[in-house]
């Protein structure tokens, strides 16, 4: 077992993780946790629930590593898990809040438990968080992918498994919605 995997490439890390090397898997977590945080927190807001989903992403990854065939990049594979789990969480919350409130999606964000470690946010973070949470989830994911992860339209379409045209039209509608939201902030 190696002491440090910082210089090791993803395929070797995957191989070592499958063989039960916890250090190797720890390196995968370290390497991609920021990317997962951007997706999950961008979609769910900066809450403790977001961290739970983030942990779930890596737990799911750990148990599905043997199924990873290496056809896509590991980052894409992780990104897909993160998006699926986050969208499931949004659906779950929507169902929950539609049962217990009258307004549904808009109201659910008021129940987010703030992450006290990041209470002192800077202006850009506040603006982006507020704006993203007010966006329709199907637009939110596209905005999060482009604005926070820096993915191109094609990369976004590939990861979300959507036609390029759909991504472009959602992007333009998201931009319009975001303009209205940002004007009110």
Partner 1 sequence: MKPSEIKKLIIGSLDADSDTVEAARLLEAEGLSFDFRSGFSERVNNKLFSASSTVIRQVEFVRNMNFAFKRIALTGVAAIVLLMISLFLMEGSFSVNSFLGLSNSYDESIVCLLTGN
Residue 6 engages partner 1 in binding (rule: CB under 8 A): no
Residue 113 engages partner 1 in binding (rule: CB under 8 A): no
Residue 121 engages partner 1 in binding (rule: CB under 8 A): yes
Q: Which of 2, 8, 29, 137 is the binder for partner 1 (CB under 8 A)?
A: 29
Q: Which of 33, 47, 75, 101 is the binder for partner 1 (CB under 8 A)?
A: 33
Residue 54 engages partner 1 in binding (rule: CB under 8 A): yes
| 183, 168 contact by CB (below 8 A) | no
For residues 21 and 121, give the distance between their C-alpha atoms in angstroms, rounded to a whole number: 37
Q: Which of 47, 55, 76, 98 is the binder for partner 1 (CB under 8 A)?
A: 55
Q: Which of 127, 137, 138, 158 is the binder for partner 1 (CB under 8 A)?
A: 127
Residue 133 engages partner 1 in binding (rule: CB under 8 A): no
Residue 92 engages partner 1 in binding (rule: CB under 8 A): no
Chain center to CA of 80: 9
Instruction: Name the site residues for partner 1 (rule: CB under 8 A).
Output: 22, 25-26, 29-30, 33-34, 36-38, 41-42, 46, 51, 54-55, 58-59, 62, 115, 117-118, 121-125, 127-128, 131, 143, 146-153, 168, 171-172, 174-175, 178-179, 182, 185
């Amino acid at each position: 077992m190696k002491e440090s995997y910082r210089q090791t490439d993803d395929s070797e890390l995957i191989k070592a993780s499958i063989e039960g090397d916890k250090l190797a898997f720890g390196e995968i977590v370290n390497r991609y946790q920021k990317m997962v945080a951007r997706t999950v927190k961008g979609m769910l807001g900066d809450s403790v629930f977001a961290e739970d989903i983030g942990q779930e992403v890596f737990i799911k990854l750990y148990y599905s590593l043997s199924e990873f065939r290496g056809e896509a990049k590991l980052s894409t594979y992780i990104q897909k898990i993160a998006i699926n789990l986050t969208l499931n969480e949004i659906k779950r919350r929507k169902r929950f809040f539609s049962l217990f409130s009258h307004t549904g999606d808009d109201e659910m964000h008021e129940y987010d438990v703030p992450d006290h470690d990041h209470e002192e946010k800077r202006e850009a973070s506040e603006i982006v968080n507020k704006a993203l949470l007010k966006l329709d989830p199907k637009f939110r994911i596209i905005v999060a992918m482009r604005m926070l992860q820096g993915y191109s339209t094609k990369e976004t379409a590939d990861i979300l498994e959507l036609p390029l045209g759909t991504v472009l039209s959602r992007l333009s509608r998201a931009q319009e919605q975001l303009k209205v939201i940002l004007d009110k902030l």
